[in-house]
Amino acid sequence: MQKHVVNVSVNPRGSLETLSQREVHQLSEAGSGSTYSLFRQCALAILNTGAQIDNAKTILEAYEDFEVRIHQQDRGVRLELLNAPADAFVDGEMIASTREMLFSALRDIVYTESELGSPLIDLSSSPGITDYVFQLLRNARTLLPGVEPKMVVCWGGHSINSEEYKYSKKVGHELGLRSLDICTGCGPGVMKGPMKGATIAHAKQRIRGGRYLGLTEPGIIAAEAPNPIVNELVILPDIEKRLEAFVRVGHGIIIFPGGVGTAEEFLYLLGILLHPDNQGVPFPVILTGPKSAEAYLQQLHDFVGATLGADAQSRYQVIIDDPAQVAVQMAAGLRKVREFRRERNDAFHFNWLLKIEEGFQRPFDPTHENMASLQLTRAVPAHELAANLRRAFSGIVAGNVKDNGIRRIEEHGPYEIRGEAHIMQPLDELLQAFVAQHRMKLPGGSAYVPCYRVVS
């Protein structure tokens, strides 16, 4: 792979412009200390924004001599980039959006590092974690007071087919025509399509200040580099905080076709919405895709019905091949959100009223023990079942495709899961369908063999 590189020096914009001497000193340590490789990796991903390669490894290897140095100067901070990908520059000058994202990454990484010791941060309790997510988003200037609810989160695959991509663009266009903003995981595929569609629609509606919010985390930013339309980038410290950010900042969610990750996110969302405390909280959710994805969506919908029941199905709508209708329904849902928050005097910019149990805020480690103790039975409340299903799903996927999951299976044999048959069977079928539709890639193209067995 041939590559052009450049060496440049850039000054910050935004909240990094007014730093105290102490903060600048702390920042410059980020250029050498433990956070260095983290920042370097994010920086490289951002500098590759818009490039066609979306394989993290390839990028990292292609630019292994890339370096970023943070210089302290009385007036503030300056970044020096060595051997940086030339595509991020025009006539030697860094593209404005790239520069913005670069300093967004620095801002968030430094914030994450520096605040951890603060007595104001309490990661040991559920409200403390929520507070931390709030602080981080506010520090990133993502929380705009007084703006009416119009942030639509779009979830779905990052490597979908062309038809599904075009469909996501059309939905984004219809959302944009109705003045709605877009929030995604900020990579390609469904994370880009709706933003692109909305950009054109906002231009048509003469809307300045349309928001294209990308929420990512260090573990995936390299694989899913921010697309160039993102105009607000926030790097959350881990998957769980990123998920919480989505549901607290978004006013509604659209789920497009995707892989196992999308299905997990869907279960995460249902687990929260089914919590009794959230029963009266309006939160529009739409499952949608083009005609060609109808079977897939139907199966997902049936799976929810079979496992979590009709009540769970009633928390979302399924709309096939009708972008305008998706936007019309979403807009209607957002009006209810607005009224609800107004009545309760709740903020528009952060969904404080949504109850998220601590279990959703902590990572799940799929050991054999953890998998064996999951309660997959309709005897537990639906929101707990949803949470457990998400964990089982996550574990099974790991057992099939992830390095440490596969190793565990090789060592200890298949997971033993204490699940009801009419829960485990639809789950099994769903996974098989994912494989058949190439939405889950097995290592070496091997046949799908369940890595678990049901113990009754």
Footprint of a copy of itself (CB under 8 A): 17-18, 20-22, 50, 73-76, 90-91, 95-98, 100, 114, 117-120, 127, 131, 134-135, 138, 143, 145-146, 174, 177-178, 199-200, 203-208, 228-229, 231, 328, 331, 341, 344-347, 349-350, 352-353
Task: Provide the β-strand partners of residue 70.
Answer: 79
- Of 254, 259, 226, 255, nearest in space to 160 by CA: 259
Tokens for 405?
């999951």
- Work out how close the CB of 117 gets to a copy of itself at its nearest, in angstroms, rounded to a whole number: 6
Distances (CA, A) of 364 to 374, 390, 394, 398: 11, 10, 8, 11
Assess contact for 48 and 29: CB atoms under 8 A: no
Q: Which stretch of DSSP H or E encloses residue 299?
A: helix 294-308
- Work out how close the CB of 338 gets to a copy of itself at its nearest, in angstroms, rounded to a whole number: 12
Assess contact for 254 and 317: CB atoms under 8 A: no
First to last CA, the chain: 54
How far is Cα 358 from Cα 336, in angstroms, rounded to an integer?
Answer: 27
How far is Cα 392 from Cα 415, in angstroms, rounded to an integer?
Answer: 10
Tokens for 261?
């990750």
* Secondary-structure breakdown of the chain: helix, strand, coil percentages, each rounded to the nearest 5: 50, 15, 35
Query: Residues with Cβ < 8 Å from 367, sequence gap 6 or more?
Result: 408
Distances (CA, A) of 25 to 67, 114, 166, 438: 19, 12, 47, 49
Distances (CA, A) of 87 to 214, 281, 304: 21, 45, 45
Q: Which stretch of DSSP H or E encloses residue 93?
A: strand 93-94
- Of 396, 289, 281, nearest in space to 343 by CA: 281
How far is Cα 54 from Cα 274, in angstroms, rounded to an integer?
Answer: 36
Nearer to a copy of itself among residue 88 and residue 260 (C-beta): 88
Rg, C-alpha atoms of the chain? 22
Residue type at 63? Y
- Work out how close the CB of 174 gets to a copy of itself at its nearest, in angstroms, rounded to a whole number: 8
Residue type at 129? I
Distances (CA, A) of 443 to 357, 406, 422: 34, 10, 28
Nearer to a copy of itself among residue 60 and residue 200 (C-beta): 200
Nearer to a copy of itself among residue 61 and residue 93 (C-beta): 93
Nearer to a copy of itself among residue 33 and residue 413 (C-beta): 33
Phi, psi (degrees; rounded to nearest 5) at 345: 55, 30
